[in-house]
Amino acid sequence: MKIGFIGLGIMGRPMAKNLIKAGHELVVFDFNKDAVADLVSCGAAEAAGGAEVAKQCETVITMVPNSPHVRAAVLGEGGVMEGAKAGTVIIDMSSIDPTESKAIGAELAKKGIDMMDCPVSGGEPKAIDGTLSVMCGGKKELFDKYYDMLMVMAGSVVYVGELGSGNVAKLANQMVVAVNIAAVAEALTFAKKAGTDPELVYQAIRGGLAGSTVMDAKAPMMLAGNYKPGFRIELHIKDLNNAINAAHAISSPAPLTAQLMEMMQFLKSEGLEKNDHASLVKYYEKISGASVVK
């Protein structure tokens, strides 16, 4: 399959490489010329912009930071829509506001262009090894058509519903992850303040109902004082902002998400926005005067 790929950042670059490894023909574009050169060395062709990508490919993947970037890449000057023809399919794998996915899709539909929103979860390691979780919104027939292609980059690809539903699922994921990380940090800080070894508390509770993938990923980082980013605070702030905006648009209460946003904003004010979101434990260090680091 000939695929256009726009956005070769931390996630997009390894995802694009996995498509090439699977035998797909890629035409790529990014403002980062080093990233483009890397993909060209792997066999991709370079395009001068989104419009040129769309002129060459009937399927175009976008993987960019946030809603405004998707809008610019797709609908902006020199964007995908300028070069696309009726029947083109745009698969946006960015994590954005679902209301914006729907709005962009509505503009594309006027020209006979289809759109799917297929955000991913798993971070850079899973992007590299091709085991991301992909949440898909759009027409079911398009999901069926592109399932095998998406599975090249993923360990699971799940259809959620109409356009925008993929990003609803991704934002729900980010809400749960944020609250879970904070709960782990709060519990380990409680253990430390109570005079009990947080490491042993973690080992005691991880096999019970409190145990989770998040706990097993983040508790060891907190205990080691390791905040090397797998997923940065600043990116989680972006996702929670989208979640809160989307929730407000439909009058869905999100008090825990709002509280986590304030905690992460505090960490940003402390200059920690580039740290892993496991550094939520540093919020508790600040207000409790205790550290769980071994």
The residues carrying an active-site annotation are: 170
Q: Helix %, strand %, coil % for the chain, to 5?
A: 55, 15, 30
Instruction: Give helix 165-193 / helix 213-224 axis angle, nearest 10°.
Output: 50
Dump strand ranges (E) for the chain: 2-6, 25-29, 45-46, 59-62, 89-92, 114-117, 120-121, 132-137, 154-161
The conformation of residue 44, written as its DSSP 8-state character, comes to P
Which helix (H) or strand (E) segment is 272 a member of?
Answer: none
Residue 232 β-bridge partners: 276
Backbone angles phi, psi at 78, to 5 degrees: 75, 10
Within 10 Å of residue 218's Cβ, how many Cβ atoms?
A: 26
**Torsions phi, psi for 59 (to 5 deg):** -125, 125
Is 103 strand, coil or helix? helix
Query: Tokens in use for 270?
Result: 């402390």
Q: Which residues, listed in sequence order, are joined to residue 28 by a DSSP beta bridge? A: 5, 46
Q: Report the Cα 130 to chain-centroid distance in Å.
A: 14
Q: Is the dihedral of CA 113, 164, 130, 34 positive or negative?
A: positive
AA letter at 96: I
Taking every pair of C-alpha atoms in the chain, what is the biggest distance, in angstroms?
66
